[in-house]
Chain A
Amino acid sequence: MRYFNNPEALLRLVSSMQEGFAITLTIFFATLLFSIPLGMVIALLRMNRHRAVSVPVSLYILVMRGTPLMLQIFAIYFAVPMLTGHNLERMTATILAFSLNYAAYFAEIFRGGIMSIPVGQYEACRVLGMRRSQTFFYVVLPQVFKRVLLPVSNEVITLVKDTSLANVIAVGELFRAAKNEASRTASIEPLFVAGLFYLIMNGLVTLFFNRLTQRMSYYRD
């Protein structure tokens, strides 16, 4: 053992991984920021009654969910410059790939949530004279929010771990930092330390969603 029996070395290891952790956090929050609204838009387009809209969107979802995220990261990082002639920053490509991929998963979760709202809610709004947009924002969306918390929390927990995939295009996130440290010192321990980082982060994510679920338990439907 090189680190686990040496607090000082361990502390140095942890602080050397700080930068990687910051990058991991950036990927994580940026992906959520973009993929959740995008997922809602995709869900609505997927439910559009015009097949010219819903069919291409279904295809998009199929491709995003049906191919490895790792491949998508490669594809965006290497193919976009070839097609457009503009180079993409590694982080930009990463966040773009993650957002497009996670939006597809969120879209299907949101679609399930929206479809689970009883038709009676729409009819009540209709006879009260509410517009479709009012119905969506004031009646449907708040109820969908509660219904999708659990599947969304699953996705968010997966995202925490998936950020490590960014290391395939040499983004210096947490896992890459740990891997470099591991090979430099010929020790596996840095990888376990990285694992601990992910675990703690997901502990916090779990706590956050538990709180949110509790906050939303003021009503039953």
Chain B
Amino acid sequence: MLEATHIRKSFGDTRVLKDVSLRVSRGEVVAIIGRSGSGKSTLLRCLNDLETVDGGEIRIGGQALVTMQAGQPVYKKDGERRALMLKMGMVFQSYHLFPHCSVLRNLTMPQKLVLGRGDGEAEAKARDLLAKVGLSDKAGAYPCQLSGGQCQRVAIARALCMDPDILCFDEPTSALDPQLTQEVLGVIRRLAQEKRTMIVVTHEMRFARDVADRVIYMEDGVVVQDGPAQEVLGDHRSDAIRAFAGE
């Protein structure tokens, strides 16, 4: 479903990703954990084409976003590139809802502009997904009238409206208090039960262990561990993980 190999990325002199590889199969939920500054967000941003890689290849659903040619990363041409990225969805830590649009319009506008859906179809889809995240009664509200947890659920619904094959989350609950965190994690949990393919960067270790099929632990721009959640976070977890979890 998604394959990233030997990803390298630097900002100036800072090498943020040093040869990171990642595979995600259909229906799999992958949690990425690691200290702040270890490169988790940068990795997710590379996968979503918000950053260009300095080296490495990315394939989404078998199609190449970027390949190495003569030692240099070469990206697909603009039109194909945008079309390919429609397979990916992304949910940010700070939601990035459109403040000037109602909740409903946040969900319908991208569908109409990007997928060319009509008013009726876009609205039906939006209402369907609002119901799914438990916010049917907020269709007419504006983002400023919602709690952080509600905003994040709207952001998830907005991403789902575009029917992505893979949904990425970058610390979706880090801006939320514990109760709101649970309401957002609950939504992600339900998506996992529906066998949606997801990559979740998170600090919620319990969530990672319970919901993720696989856990990736990153340190200083490299993947230190990559395995089944039970293996990485279970009773036999490594010293590195114990240290990270502050045990």
> Which residues of chain A have a CB within 8 Å of any CB of chain B?
118, 120-121, 123-131, 134, 138-139, 142-143, 146, 218-221
Q: What's the Cα separation between A127 and B99 when bound, in Å?
A: 17
B136 within 8 Å of A (CB atoms): no
Instruction: Kindly list chain A residues whose C-beta atoms are within 8 Å of the C-beta of B158.
Output: 128
B142 touches A218 (CB 8 A): yes
Out of A129, A142, A219, which one reaches B82, CB within 8 Å? A129
> Which residues of chain B have a CB within 8 Å of any CB of chain A?
48-50, 82, 85-86, 88-90, 92, 94, 96-100, 109-110, 113-115, 142-144, 158-159, 162
B98 touches A129 (CB 8 A): no
Counting chain B CB atoms within 10 Å of each CB, the highest count among A118, A130, A138 belongs to A138
Can you list 14 A-B pairs, Cβ within 8 angstroms, ordered by A?
A: A121-B96, A124-B97, A126-B50, A127-B85, A128-B114, A128-B158, A128-B159, A129-B115, A130-B113, A130-B114, A131-B82, A143-B99, A143-B100, A146-B100
A134 touches B113 (CB 8 A): yes
Number of A-B contacts (CB under 8 A): 61
Main secondary structure of the interface of A (DSSP, over half): helix
Residue of chain B at shortest CB distance from A128? B110
Q: What's the Cα separation between A154 and B82 when bound, in Å?
A: 41
Out of B50, B82, B114, B115, which one reaches A123, CB within 8 Å? B50
Q: What's the Cα separation between A178 and B89 when bound, in Å?
A: 65
A138 touches B144 (CB 8 A): no
Instruction: Kindly list chain B residues whose C-beta atoms are within 8 Å of the C-beta of A134.
Output: 113-114
Q: What's the Cα separation between A169 and B134 when bound, in Å?
A: 67
